[in-house]
Structure formats: structure tokens, C-alpha cells
Amino acid sequence: MPTTRMLNTATLSALASLAASSLTLAHHGPVTQPSLYLTDDFVERRGEIVDVFWRNPHTRARMLVTGDDGEEHLWEIEISPGPRTLERLGINEEDLFGPARAAGYISRRDPDSLGALNVLLPDGREYATGNRELLWAGDRVATAQFAIDPERAAEERRTATSIFRTWGRRIGPRPQPNEYHHLLTDRGREAAALFYAPRDNPELECRTGVGASMMDPMPLEIIDEGDRIMVHQSEYNVRRTIWLDPEASGVEPTSGPYGFSVGRWEDDALIVNTTHIDFPYLDPYGTPQSDQIEYLERFQLSESGDDVRLNYSLTATDPVMYAEPIVFERPRQWSPGRVFEEFNCTHEWEGEAE
């Protein structure tokens, strides 16, 4: 649940009034993404953090800022890591409350929301995304290390076979639309032109599809369940079932955001055909796909000494939207013992479930 620090009556009244007029909507995309943020203007806000939303995909805070007119204004500050990442950095929910500063880009969706790249905490530590320089005289928050379970790591090293392992972050950047939008049909280009990220980004509703999920930087695990294979992506807690013999298993194709997947082995490579996909976009950037979209995926283990990788490719074929197939290829590094943290995604401050 969102947590609010105990405040005096006047401040509580101001907070309630300001919150009622604020959109307070999350954006769930990179702060440096021009389609979501006004990246031409780097701005700073200084005030008191009075409310914290400690949930995925991004931590958010409400900051009371006194304007040039002497009036208090409520700003939403979106801090890109989720709560578990901040905890690994040594930042807890209570650490955010109090006088603070934030700098970044204003949202295209909400003019009172700031996507923060730098945050000066009340205790004097400064969080800066990536390798950004510090803006204030604070101590840099230490880099977070992903949690590894030593016992699980040892067991996975002992029992790992083929592709059935825990795979770490994607190697290389996420594929970008300028690499493949020239493959769109006229209808595909028309549909892509209608996409407006501050309104249509599916992550605003904590939804994602296969293309976006498999190209996500966060880790995934592939699990052998006998007549089926489970692909579990930590981001958004996506769980995909790949049937090896659906007829023998007594399952019928059903439509859904991840479609209906059937796999087969070609030597040491898992080949997966996915149909019945009911999701509007191939990626987080609004590349359209119709109900005729089909995916062909290839999962293959690559070992060279201690360098163990998952070579992965996805070929998307859609006769309505694409003149030619769109192909994504990105490897992942084996990460034995990697801990998958709970991913509870809530896109609005109000109405959050326990």
C-alpha cells in the first residue's frame, strides 16, 4: 500500500486537495524516452516527500514543492528502479520521506510528474541512474548487486542441462523501431502512426506481450515440466507454457496475450511456433501486430569454457502489418542461483489491492 508520513492538519489538507487534482499516473518506460518525457528540458524540483508508492514497476513519491507564487504544489516523482532494487542499494521506503531534491524530465502524460534521473535523499545520499554524474554534494548510493542464492547456485551448476537454467540480463540493447519499421506495410505504418505512448503504452496497465517480454533486460528461467516447458520472465511475472505435444496433453489452442505455443527439438535447439496471439503490439514502442501474427522462436545453448549463453531469436510474421518478417536476436548469460524477486505491478496510486 502507499505509505504517507504523519503530517500536520494543514499539510494533510493540502495534500488531499492537490492529490485530487493530480493525474498521478505512472509511465512505466525509460525516463530518457522522448515519447514519454520532455527530454529537451532537464528540470529540478526541491521540496518535501510526503507520500511513497513502494510498488513495481517503478517506485514513486509525492513531493510538496513551494512555487514562486508561494503556493504548495504536489509533484509526482517517478524513480525508475522498483522497490527490491532500491533495497539492494540500501534505500528503504522510510528513507525517502523528508526534504529532498529531484532532477529529470517532465512527463508528457502529466505536467506535474517528473521522471527522476537524480534524487538527493533526506539523509544526504544521492541516487543517480546508470553512470550519471552527481548533481549535489551527496554521497553516491552504491551500485546494487543482484541477489544470488548460493545453495540454489550450487544445485543449478550440478544439475543444469541444455537450456533449462536461469538466464541473466539480455546482452546488448533492446531492438529499436528504426531498425525494422521500414518492413511495415502501408497498413502497418498507419497503425504505428496512431500509437501515442503516453496514452497507449500497455505497460501503463502493467501488461506486456511476448516480443517485449523476451527482449526485456531482466532475467528469465526455462523449466522442464515433462510434456511442457515453462518460460518465466521476472519482469511482470510473465509465465509462458510451451507444449511439446498438445494433442497428447489434451489441450486446445486458446487466444491470449502470449498466444498458444508449441515446441519441438531440432538437435539441441528448441523451436517454438506461437499462434493465437491477442495483443496489439510487438514491442513497447507501438509496433502493431494483427490477429494473424505468428512467432517462430529458437532457443539454443552455447558453451565455450565458462562462457555459457542462451542464443535466442524471435521471427515475427504478420501478412497484415509486415511486408517482411521482423527478427529479434539477443543472447543471455547463464546466471545460476539468481533470485527472482516478487513483482507486484500496480499502475495507479489509488485502489491498490493488498
pLDDT tens figures, 76-86: 999 987 887 88
- Using CA atoms, how far residue 179 sits from 57, 156, 297, 327, in Å, is 27, 37, 19, 10
Percent of the chain with pLDDT over 70: 88
**CATH code of the domain covering residue 119:** 2.40.50.140
Q: Of the candidates 140, 163, 189, which is a domain's last residue?
A: 140
pLDDT tens, residue order, the chain (354 aa): 455 444 443 443 444 343 333 333 444 567 888 888 999 999 999 999 999 988 877 889 999 999 888 899 999 999 987 887 888 888 999 999 999 999 999 999 899 999 999 999 999 999 998 778 999 976 888 766 678 899 999 999 999 999 999 999 899 999 999 999 999 999 999 999 999 988 898 887 889 999 999 999 889 999 999 999 999 998 889 999 999 999 999 999 999 999 999 999 999 999 999 999 999 999 999 999 999 999 999 999 999 988 999 999 999 999 999 999 999 999 999 999 998 877 777 766 554 443
CA–CA gap between residue 256 and residue 276 (Å, rounded): 7
137: helix, coil or strand? coil
Q: Name the strand (E) or helix (H) holding 309.
A: strand 307-317
Query: Does the pTM of the predicted model rise above 0.95?
Result: no
Report the alpha-carbon distance of residue 133 to residue 127 in Å, rounded.
10
What is residue 84's predicted lDDT score, i.e. its pLDDT? 78
Write down the pLDDT at residue 52: 93
Strand partners, 281: 288
Helix (H, G, I), strand (E, B) or coil at 264: strand
**Under a CB-based contact definition with an 8 Å cutoff, are residues 343 and 185 in contact?**
no
**The pLDDT value given to residue 6:** 41
Which pLDDT score, from 0 to 100, does residue 21 have?
36
In a domain, 21, yes or no: yes
Of the candidates 317, 318, 322, 321, the residue with the CA atom closest to the CA atom of residue 297 = 317
Residues 328, 183, single domain; the answer is yes
Q: What is the pLDDT of residue 25?
A: 40
Q: Are residues 133 and 166 in the same domain?
A: no
On whether both 38 and 106 belong to a single domain, the answer is: yes
pLDDT tens by residue, 158-199: 999 999 999 998 999 999 999 999 999 999 999 999 999 888
**Same domain membership, residue 219 and residue 136:** no
Residue 97 structural domain: 3-140
Residue tagged 496471439 (cell numbers): 277
Strands 72-79 and 113-120: parallel
Q: Is residue 222 part of a domain?
A: yes
Contact 94, 86 (CB under 8 A): no
Distance of alpha carbon 4 from alpha carbon 51, whole angstroms? 4
Instruction: Name the domain count of the chain.
Output: 2
Task: For residues 53 and 175, give the distance between their C-alpha atoms in angstroms, rounded to a whole number.
Answer: 31
Q: How far apart are CA 209 and CA 281, in angstroms?
A: 7
Quote the pLDDT of residue 27: 45
Question: What is the Cα–Cα distance from 23 to 75, expressed in whole angstroms?
Answer: 10
DSSP labels, 90-125: T--GGGG-EEEEEEEEEBSS-TTEEEEEEEE-TTSE
Q: Say what the pLDDT of residue 295 is.
A: 99
Residue 272, domain member (yes or no): yes
